[in-house]
Amino acid sequence: MSEITPSQTVGPFFAYGLTPKGRCQWDPNGSYSWKNTVESNLVTPDASGTRIHIEGTVRDGDGAPINDCMIEIWQADAQGRFASPGTNRALPNTKFKGFGRSATDKQGVYAFDTIKPGSVPGPGGKPQAPHIVVCIFSRGMLRQIYTRLYFDDEPANVSDPILNMVPAERRGTLIAHKQPGADHQYRFDIRVQGGDETVFFDI
C-alpha cells in the first residue's frame, strides 16, 4: 500500500492563511497583515492574449451558496504553455504563472482575472480545447475535488478528448458561458451535489 499523507479538510478558517487579501472577510477590523502568496488576478503586464474575467457561485446539495470555499485554477498561457518546470516544452517567456486562488465571499461567489488559455496537447498528442483545471477545497470536503472549465465560444470543444468522455447530458456543467453585453466575462457556476451536479474527475 502506498504511503502518501492523507488529505484532510481545509476547514472554515483557511482564509487568513491562504487567501488573506481575498474576497472572504475574515478580519473586518483589518488589524492583521499577511500578504497573499497566490492571487485571484493571474494577469501579468507582459502576458499576451485575451484578458478574461471568470466568476461563479459554488452551491451545495441544497443549492445553498458555500461561503467558505477555496477555488484554485491551473492553466496554460495564451500560447498553450504551462509555467511548469516538469515539462520539456518551452516555458513561457513571461511572468504569467497560470495559477490562481480565490475564496468565495458571503454569497458563495469566487472570481478570477486571467488570460484565455491556448490549446495544449492531450492523450496521444491530440489537441485539447482551451480549458482550465479547477480544484475545489472547502469545509465539509475531506479531500479536494477536481473539475475543468471550458469556454462556450470555443469550436474546438466538439473534438476535445476529455469533454467527449463526459456523457452529453452532463457536458454543459463544464462550460463557462460568455456574458452578454460584457467584454470577455464568463460565468462558471459549480454545483457540488444535486441534480445539476458539476462533473468531477477521479484523477
Site residues (CB under 8 A) for another protein, limited to 108-137: 120-125, 128, 131, 133, 135, 137
3-state secondary structure of 39: coil
Cell readout for 149 is 472549465
Q: Which of 21, 37, 50, 182 binds another protein (CB under 8 A)?
A: 37
Whole-number Cα distances in Å, 31 to 18, 20, 34, 61: 17, 12, 10, 35
Could you say which of 86, 155, 180, 181 contacts another protein (CB under 8 A)? 86
Residue 93 in the binding site for another protein (CB under 8 A): no
Applying CB under 8 A, which part among 45-53, 149-157, 180-188, 190-198 lies near another protein? 190-198
Q: Is 24 left (phi over 0), alpha (psi -120 to 50) or beta?
A: beta
| Binding test (CB under 8 A) with another protein, winner from 44, 48, 179, 193 | 193
Window of 43-51, 69-77, 108-116, 179-187 that interacts with another protein by CB under 8 A: 69-77
Closest by CA to 52, choosing from 189, 150, 188, 185, is: 185
